[in-house]
Each structure stands twice: as structure tokens, then as C-alpha cells.
Amino acid sequence: MTVLLLIAVGALAGTLGAMLGIGGGIVLVPALVLGFDIPLEQAIPASLMCVVASSCSAAAGYVHKHLSDIRLGLSLELATVMGAIAGGMVAAMVAPAMVAVVFGLFTLYVALQMLLLRSPHQEPAALDDYAPTNYPLGISGSFVAGGLSSLLGVGGGPLKVPLMAYGMHVPFKVASATSNLMIGVTGAASVAAYALRGHLKLALVSPLVVGVLGGAYVGSRLMPRVPTAVLKRLFAVVLLVVAGQMLWKGGEGLWPSILK
């Protein structure tokens, strides 16, 4: 029964992750910790493994349909990995709780803007009718996303999709598909780091990955058919959840020092 439930949770996370380009960790980590009483140090690597599975399954379809922008992905991937390494190097010097609060507030701002305001720029009529702009913003934003991923354990997707869609004027669906392509590589590196420390539990990962692979396949078939406006709303709701998680995480770290 537990195996079937894990497959179902994985399928839900895979579908959502593939449609929005966020991997699905946002669903998996709380579900595993709160719903299955799995310790956080096991839930995070399992969730990262699912992000890799979601990326492989969804990106295969998106690359085949030419929805993923491989060149843009490579440019931003390089900045992300550099940011992650920089984040890992400065991790001892910054307070993760403070970074979580700042990231949470920023995510909240982006989510509310997506929900309440009309998009300032028009989405192109066809998905091939665009050229990414603002590369300096995209690259520096990806560097920050990589750093945050390393400092806070959040995937880069929730930051990189709005960055590409709003900062670089890439169509939302292309941004989501490109993010799906990118998160696999960084996720694999993160899992490898956890696996080397023996934190990867394959008995937990197996049913989750099976569900995620199926869910991501379904999500990648659904995404091109779903109206962009609906995807944006869904993404904004997911961002609200990320913001809540980050503010909670930051608050947990900051409250004791404030109360003292």
C-alpha cells in the first residue's frame, strides 16, 4: 500500500514538475516528511533523484518537439553551476535563515505579481518567434539561483522560469521546457554528493522514481496543450508555496536569536 502511495505522490510531483519546469521537489519533500514520516536527510536526496527522473522523462519529449532551447540552457547552466560552487564556498559565512527569508520575500513578490498583475509583455504568437534578450540579467540571475540552490537546497526552477519568461522574454512554455532540461544536470550532481555520503535510500527512491517518470511523461504531453495563462497561474501558486516554505524555514532559524 505504501509503495502504491509513493508511486501516486511521485506521479503527481512528476506531472506538476514537468508542466512547470520545477522538478517536483516542492511536492515531494513536504509529502515525504509530513505524510510518510521520512527524515528530511533522506527525503531531500530522494526528491533530488526524482527531479533528475522528471527532467529526463519530460525533457526527452520537449527536446524532441524543439520546445527546449538547448543553447539558452547551456548558457544558464554554466552560470548556475558556478553559482552553486560559489554558494557552497560561502555557505559557512552567511546565515542560511536570513537568505531563506530574503528568497522567500522575493518569491512572494514574484508570485503576487504573476497572480495579480497583467504580464507587461505580450507572449509571442508562435513558440519559435522569439530571441532571448537580457543575457546579462539571465546569467547573473542563474548564478544567484545556483547559489541559492546550494545554500537553501531549493531547485533553481522556481527562480529560473520567471527569469527566462519575464527577464529574458522567452515564451513561458519554452522557459519551462528549458528549465526542465537544465535541472537534471544540477540535480544529478547534488544527488551524487548525497550518495557519496550514503544518504540515498534506494528502497524509498524506487517507487517514487517509477511514479515520477510516468507523471513527467504525462505532464510533458499535457503542457503544450494547456493555455499559457493557466500554466502561469499554476506556477504562481507553486511560487506561493515555495515562499511559504522559505519564510517558515527562515523564521525557524531566526526566531530563537530574536527571542534571545
Partner 1 sequence: MAEHPEVSEPEDARAARASVSAVAAEHPAVSHNVAVTGGAASLTQPDAGAAEQVRHHHRERAVVGDRWIARVLRVGAVVSGGMFVLSLGLEAMPQSERVHVAIDLLRKGAASLLLVTPVARLAVAGTLLGLRGEWRYMAMAAGVLGLLAVAVGAGIQA
Instruction: Give the interface segment with partner 1, choosing from 72-80, 99-107, 228-236, 247-255 (CB under 8 A).
Output: 72-80
- Coil, helix or strand for 28? helix
3-state helix, strand, coil in the chain (%, to 5): 80, 0, 20
Residue in this structure with the C-alpha cell 519546469, named with its chain if needed: 21
CB of 255 to partner 1, least distance (A): 26
Q: Which is nearer to partner 1, 87 or 162 (CB)?
A: 87
**13, 19, 28, 67: which one contacts partner 1 (CB under 8 A)?**
67
Q: Is 194 in the site for partner 1 (CB under 8 A)?
A: yes
CB of 200 to partner 1, least distance (A): 7
| HSE (side-chain half, CA atoms, 13 Å) at 15 | 11
Contact, 86 vs 222, CB < 8 A? Answer: no
Closest CA to 50 of 76, 67, 26: 26
Q: What is the DSSP letter of 94?
A: S
Q: What is the DSSP letter of 24?
A: T
* Per-residue x/- track, 202-221, partner 1 (CB under 8 A): xx-xxx-xx--xx-------
Instruction: Give the interface segment with partner 1, choosing from 92-100, 146-154, 231-239, 249-257 (CB under 8 A).
Output: 146-154
CB of 3 to partner 1, least distance (A): 7
What is the DSSP code string of 113-158?
A: HHHHSPPSSPPPSSTTS-----HHHHHHHHHHHHHHHHHH---SHH
**200, 242, 243, 247: which one contacts partner 1 (CB under 8 A)?**
200
Q: Is 85 in the site for partner 1 (CB under 8 A)?
A: yes
Q: Is 184 in the site for partner 1 (CB under 8 A)?
A: yes
Residue in this structure with the C-alpha cell 544529478, named with its chain if needed: 188
* Residue ranges in contact with partner 1 by CB under 8 A: 3, 49, 52-53, 55-57, 59-61, 63-72, 74-75, 77-78, 80-82, 84-85, 87-89, 126-128, 130-132, 146, 149-150, 153, 173-174, 181, 184-197, 200, 202-203, 205-207, 209-210, 213-214, 224
